[in-house]
Amino acid sequence: MISSLRKTRIIATLGPVSETPERLREMMQAGVNIFRLNMSHANHDSVRNLVPTIRGIAEELGLIIGILMDTQGPAVRTGDLPIKFELKVGDILEFTVRGAKSQEVYSVNVNYDGLIDDISKGDVMLVDNGVLHLKVLNKENNRIRCEVLTPGPLGSRRHINLPGVRVNLPPLTEKDIADVALGCELGVDFIALSFCREASDIHEMQRVIATHHGTARVIAKIEDQCAVKCIEEIIEATDAVMIARGDLGIECPMEELPIIQRRIMKKAIQLGRPVIVATHLLESMIENPVPTRAEITDVANAVFEQADAIMLSGETTVGKYPLECIRVMDRVARRIERSGYAPYAKQTVLENDQEKTTRAGVSLANSLPHSGLIVFTSHGVMADYASQLRPQTAPVFAITSQAEVARRLILNWGTHPIVTSKRKGMEQILSEVEEILLKNSLMEKGDSLVILSDLEEGEKNVDSIELRKI
């Protein structure tokens, strides 16, 4: 059974309200395509239990479900405090590193010793998702003296954003590397690189995955100004992109965020990289059973711009209405997909013969009413190309004999993977696929099928296009 013909994928983050087998099953049935494991909070024992549980339930339901491991990344955070500080405008707060001691009433240590080298007098520091704004007055003896510009509480282990400041942290921490090793061991399908700043960070993640014999696709999380400045190089280097609007919206001027989001979407689609829109999509539903109308418009805009996936974070980790959030996303996505799209795929760059062959197949499907694209693919490459070209109406059915390839393809816009036996011939597989499509009311007798293939025949790779009726 294929979950649906919704083209836009839904990613749900797992947490305390969503990790039970019963809730996982309900979320899959409601429309989740990929589950996200947030390694900022998850531990190895829980991940070892969750991954096989997800795989088992998905197999029982006959669904292709991907698993995304999201690394914590080299975040700059405050240390522990015995009690919260209630800071007022004009208060002085000192950040200390390397064991320095402060004589100020308000002071807290920071987990990154190099902060004092990277920061400069006059820089603005944003703490706790931008709630607190501070201006650096001076720095000396491993102490950074700041003036509070906006009032608010400061608790333990709060994230620090440094807009426009180049932070000389490594792309992966020791914890990240240990988490990636676990992900490779368990066979997760995607690994997200938090706070990606440049293309070399992607190469380092790919190297670590290869070292641990993993096959996961790398997702570059765009979260700061450094990444925005290098966005084209990052998109070219990575397998997929996540527009992580939480930190990105803090790091960049708020009025620039929609422009940055659109720019990343356009470039990712043109270069054939799946793109995920994340953070605050249905934030109000953490507490409320219905979304705001502005949130509906936000989700609709992401779908209209043909994002491959839209992602839920706090809504499905600690929220009161996780299933309702998934149903809202599903409902909005289905409706917007029927209303038309932004024309970003028309500017897709075709670089090789296989991409051009795929374009010919997609054009043929676009010209035929009631048609579907069947893509036979060994490694998912031709299916990637078909998704990149965003067929107007024809769904893409990616046929593969490898479950891991099918799970990686589940992120792709408009792509519905089907796993078949490797031992059967193409005609047998086609008959089996037609039965599946008819049985699940995904296609009807008399509909057209445009069949694309990049399968190996002997020592050759043969690309072909065929047209037939069901």
Band (pLDDT 50/70/90 cuts) for residue 464 is: confident
Structure tokens at 230: 């290098």
Angle of the 199-211 helix axis to the 174-186 helix axis, nearest 10: 50
Q: Which are the contacts of 253, defined by CB distance < 8 A and separation ≥ 6? A: none
The answer to whether the beta carbons of residues 160 and 126 sit under 8 Å apart is yes
Q: Taking Cα atoms as reference points, which of 158, 171, 302 lies closest to residue 226?
A: 171
User: Distance between CA 385 and CA 357 in Å, rounded?
Assistant: 10
Residue pLDDT, tens place only, 26-80: 999 999 999 999 999 999 999 999 999 999 999 999 999 999 999 999 989 999 9
Residue pLDDT, tens place only, 75-121: 899 999 999 999 999 999 999 999 999 999 999 999 999 999 999 99
Band (pLDDT 50/70/90 cuts) for residue 459 is: low
pLDDT greater than 50 at residue 351: yes
pLDDT greater than 90 at residue 153: yes
pTM across the whole model: 0.93
Residue pLDDT, tens place only, 226-243: 999 999 999 999 999 999
Q: What is the DSSP string of 190-223?
A: EEEETT--SHHHHHHHHHHHHHTT--PEEEEEE-
Q: Which are the contacts of 34, defined by CB distance < 8 A and separation ≥ 6? A: 9, 10, 11, 12, 65, 66, 67, 68, 189, 190, 309, 410, 411
Residue 469: per-residue pLDDT: 92
Band (pLDDT 50/70/90 cuts) for residue 347 is: confident
Residue 4: per-residue pLDDT: 54
Residue 424: per-residue pLDDT: 72
Residue 400: per-residue pLDDT: 92
Neighbours of 130 (CB within 10 A): 18
Band (pLDDT 50/70/90 cuts) for residue 455 is: low
Band (pLDDT 50/70/90 cuts) for residue 453 is: confident
User: Distance between CA 141 and CA 151 in Å, rounded?
Assistant: 27
CA quadruple 286, 263, 224, 202: dihedral positive or negative?
A: positive
85-161 CATH: 2.40.33.10
Band (pLDDT 50/70/90 cuts) for residue 1 is: very low
What's the CATH fold of domain 9-74+171-338? TIM Barrel (3.20.20)
pLDDT above 70: percentage of residues in the chain:
97
Residue 458: per-residue pLDDT: 61
The pLDDT of 426-441, averaged and rounded, is 89
Helix (H), strand (E) at residue 323: helix 322-337
Task: Write down the mean pLDDT value for the chain.
Answer: 94
Residue 457: per-residue pLDDT: 63
Query: Which of these CATH numbers, 3.30.9.90, 3.40.367.20, 3.30.390.30, 3.40.1380.20, describes 350-469?
Result: 3.40.1380.20
User: Distance between CA 364 and CA 40 in Å, rounded?
Assistant: 46
How does DSSP classify residue 370? S
pLDDT above 90: percentage of residues in the chain:
84
Q: Which are the contacts of 371, defined by CB distance < 8 A and separation ≥ 6? A: 365, 393, 394, 447, 448, 449, 450
pLDDT greater than 80 at residue 281: yes
Band (pLDDT 50/70/90 cuts) for residue 275 is: very high
Give the start-to-end residue ranges of the domains of the chain.
Answer: 9-74+171-338, 85-161, 350-469
The answer to whether the beta carbons of residues 304 and 342 sit under 8 Å apart is yes
Tell me whether residue 81 is exposed, middle or buried, using C-beta atoms within 10 angstroms of its C-beta: 0 to 12, 13 to 18, 19 or more: middle
Q: What length is written for the chain?
A: 470
Residue 2: per-residue pLDDT: 43
- Angle of CA points 414, 416, 420, to nearest 5°: 155
Residue 129: per-residue pLDDT: 85
Give the position of tokens 């000192």. 94
